[in-house]
Amino acid sequence: MTKNYTLTAILLALAITASAQTNPQIDVSIRFYDKKIYYVQSAHNDPVYVQITIANKSPAPFYFKLADDRMFSVDFDVRTSANRTLQQTEYLMRKRATVQQVFFRSVLIEPGESFSFIEDVRSYAMLSEAGTFVVQAKLYPDLYKPPRTAAGQQTVSTTPPPLVSNRLALNIRPPSILGSDGLPVAMDVETNAILVREALPPDSMISYMLTARQKSQWEKFFLYMDIEAMVRRDETRKRRWLAESEEGRQRMVARYREELQNNVIDTDIVMIPMRFEIKRTTYGEEEGTVTVMEWFQIGSYVEKKQYVYTIQRKDDIWTVVNYTVQNMGTE
């Protein structure tokens, strides 16, 4: 009797998976997780993060397997404007060609619910040239299985047809222009123009930075932030900074910026305020502070925080070099 129940459960799961592959009510969609300007460079330096969302719009639950190594659950079809498919990365091909046990967890999406995760397109496709590309994701509900070749026969795919997503237009620019400090010059995503720091008053500079964060415009958000100074705020990082070469320091700056964008460190400064109000600005010839009250939507309530941004002026340009934050309760 136990075996019969087990067999029934397995057949039911397989039936749900199989029906989903032809069910238009199981919607797979993708969007850029952090829309910005992408360049021809390594995946480590410039990942192309895409958020994949599986939405169940059917009246029945949807079951699928999600591998711990997502390369066995998803894929990306990336094509040029001439409809030429880009080559898969060597890492992806080697990973799938290796005989190994694939660990996974079962995910069940109830009707009206959705499930999301993030992947880097550069881990799947060789984005080694500049141009305009079309990106489409593929989801394998029953995992990707390498093709098999029987003796004297052609190679046959054993993977059921995947669910496919909408298409995204991806623009890859030539290698980024480097400034005099060796770091890439900031570009405006909306206009494709080079962003140039202006001699803004301290309160206007802070308003510019916070407004950019509200609009998720990372390049503008970082424009008036002295990232080197922010790296050295932490004593451990400061000691490492002092011991590094110039090239090593550039890597630290790039890594710090990437970790800020991914909410790994200093998460208070990258929170998105629903509104803000500059309360006090004090400054001298070279240093100053700007006190700002900021409100954040946290679930069903609004959280209030007071930020004090420490600023410095160099070559008539004010930048943020440090900050403190104090919780002021909820509203």
Region for residue 263 given its phi and psi (left: phi exceeds 0; alpha: psi -120 to 50; beta: otherwise): left
- The C-alpha atoms of residue 161 and residue 144 are separated, in whole angstroms, by 10
- φ/ψ (deg, to 5) at 124: -110, -35
The model's pTM: 0.51
pLDDT in tens, the chain (331 residues): 434 444 344 334 444 444 444 466 899 999 998 777 787 765 456 788 899 999 999 899 999 999 999 999 999 999 998 899 999 998 899 888 887 888 999 999 999 999 999 999 999 999 888 889 999 999 999 998 877 655 555 555 667 789 999 999 998 877 655 544 445 556 565 555 667 788 999 999 999 999 999 988 888 898 899 999 999 988 888 898 888 888 788 888 888 888 888 878 888 999 999 999 999 999 999 999 999 999 999 888 899 999 999 999 988 999 999 999 999 998 8
- The C-alpha atoms of residue 274 and residue 52 are separated, in whole angstroms, by 26
* Pairing, β 38-39 against β 163-173: parallel
What are the strands of the beta sheet with 301-314, ordered from one edge? 275-283, 287-298, 301-314, 317-330
Helix axes 246-261, 235-243, angle to 10 degrees: 150
Comparing CA positions, the residue from 308, 316, 314 lying closest to residue 228 is: 314
Provide the 8-state DSSP code for 111.
Answer: T
Structure tokens at 107: 């995910």
- The C-alpha atoms of residue 253 and residue 267 are separated, in whole angstroms, by 16
- The C-alpha atoms of residue 304 and residue 322 are separated, in whole angstroms, by 20
**Amino acid of residue 286:** E
- The domains found in the chain, sorted by start residue, are 2-173 (2.60.40.2360), 202-330 (3.10.450.50)
CB atoms within 10 A of CB 229: 14
* Pairing, β 148-149 against β 62-67: unpaired
